Amino acid sequence: MKDTTDTINLYDAFQWNVKVIDHHVDEVTPSSSWDQDGVHRILVSDGNSIDLRLQNHSLLRERSSLRERVLLVEFIGNLERRDEQKDPFSFGLDVAERLQLPVLAVAEPTISKSKGLCVGWYTGNENMPKTIEIIGTWLNKLARHYSARLVLFGGSAGGFGALSVLPYMTEHTSCLVWNPQTCIAKCEKKFVISYLKNAFPTRNSELNINQEISQEELATRLVCEGIYYDLQRNFQIPSFVKLLFLQNDTDRQFASHAKPFLENLGFTIHADNLVNDRVDDLFVKFGTFGDKHNAPDKEIIEASLTWLIDDLGTSTDLAFSEKQRNTSVDLTFAEKQSTNVTQEETFEVTATLENSTLLASIHAAPAVFINPVFAFYLFIDGKRTSIKQYSSENSTLFEVNGHPKKIEIVGYVLDNGKRKSKKINVDISAE
């Protein structure tokens, strides 16, 4: 990218008729200039920036102090139809609009500057070699600035970007990926070659997208550029991150991308079938969510994001519409039974309602936990209305107003980097 004759500012931030706000990459704390919609450019070096489009910022401030703030964060790394699709933000903006949530859409910065590039993985270029680290650092800053839980999402190359940023997260984060690529060297060679030529031309300008080149040589070139290209080995996700991984069972990239990535995280796959669909707070679903490597319908993406946002804790709470009835996401009876027994043996959640005051408590079994902390979510008629953040107190009080038809409590225990949860119904028959 040092050869400016081969680059073009295709994503001129001013072309969408929205406000453009510049920030310096080294700013320690986000300023109030982040409290407005528009394209926010994080200036990294001369002529190079990471562009994030913020939409529906006002919804962050409209949230009651008793309800959790959520900010969607979109990663999109594939713009194959560049002549028709010059806007790197539109998909995420549409999803957020339907869900009535604020969104921060992250443009892939190498695509933004490279005329001939249509696929990128947020892994940087000669002018911005630490792109993922910068994005992760700024997402943490913004999560604290907005007092919001981030919900990352993306598919294919964008899924790689969303997954890559997770090890840098220090704040409570959720993440949805579908058919994510997990090893750049195993991706279609013409896209990898195009990326190397555009992002790191000094050592790769002689490459031709039609030439014969081995996967091993591509990997060597990626390593030479300092790119963390392989999420299938030694990749770890922080314990405070909740991940939902959707994989289309007809995707030709299943064996080369999904299977080794998931096995590294502790999932068992036998004859292309998933044996266990949960490891801690990592959830996986195989199904016919779309055609081959294509993204699922927006309806499925929105339902999956809603499940992550509601943070119900078990995959039995994730259900798609009748249109997707063949992609059942329920646990088997044996898995449900095993999960329930484990949770009942370690802790119980109780709740009593007297007048408008609800007392919720978590009772931990002796000698099970090391140094636990506890949190509670209150659901009224299926909507989460209040949160008590983690503390050493194993009980809390909620105020319940009106005459709800259904009250539920979700209790969380976080101990030694592991989180467990249990959901109960509150008896309101006497009220």
Q: Using one digit for the tens of pLDDT, what is the confidence trace for 363-380?
A: 988 778 888 889 899 988
Output the pLDDT for position 231. 96
Q: Using one digit for the tens of pLDDT, what is the confidence trace for 92-131?
A: 788 888 898 999 999 999 988 887 788 999 999 999 999 9
Residue 34 per-residue DSSP state: G
d(CA 39, CA 22): 8
Residue 427 per-residue DSSP state: P
Output the pLDDT for position 113. 81
Contact between residue 223 and residue 260 where contact means Cβ atoms under 8 Å apart: no
Q: Compute the residue count for the chain.
A: 431
What fold, for 4-324? Answer: Rossmann fold (3.40.50)
Q: Is pLDDT at 6 greater than 50 in this prediction?
A: no
Q: Using one digit for the tens of pLDDT, what is the confidence trace for 282-338?
A: 999 887 776 677 778 888 899 899 889 876 555 544 655 434 434 333 333 333 333
Q: Is pLDDT at 5 greater than 70 in this prediction?
A: no
- Tokens 């806007």 belong to 87
What fold, for 334-425? Answer: Immunoglobulin-like (2.60.40)
Q: Is pLDDT at 339 greater than 60 in this prediction?
A: no
Q: Is pLDDT at 413 greater than 60 in this prediction?
A: yes
C-alpha torsion 280→282→287→292, nearest 10: -150
Output the pLDDT for position 342. 42
* The one-letter amino acid at 182: T
| Helix, strand, or coil (residue 35) | coil
Dmax over CA atoms of the chain, in Å, equals 78
Q: What is the mean pLDDT of the chain?
A: 83
Output the pLDDT for position 92. 75
- Please give the radius of gyration of the chain, using alpha carbons only, rounded to the nearest integer: 23
Give whole-number Cα distances, 415 to 163, 276, 412, in Å: 24, 23, 10
pLDDT band at 4 (very low <50, low <70, confident <90, very high): very low
Q: Is pLDDT at 210 greater than 60 in this prediction?
A: yes
- Sketch the domain layout of the chain as residue ranges: 4-324, 334-425
| Helix, strand, or coil (residue 71) | strand
d(CA 285, CA 262): 11
Q: Is pLDDT at 228 greater than 90 in this prediction?
A: yes
pLDDT band at 400 (very low <50, low <70, confident <90, very high): very high
Question: Of 149-153, 191-195, 210-214, 314-318, which range is least confident?
Answer: 314-318
Q: Is pLDDT at 78 greater than 80 in this prediction?
A: no
Q: Using one digit for the tens of pLDDT, what is the confidence trace for 19-62?
A: 999 999 999 999 999 999 999 999 998 778 999 999 999 998 77
d(CA 299, CA 193): 34
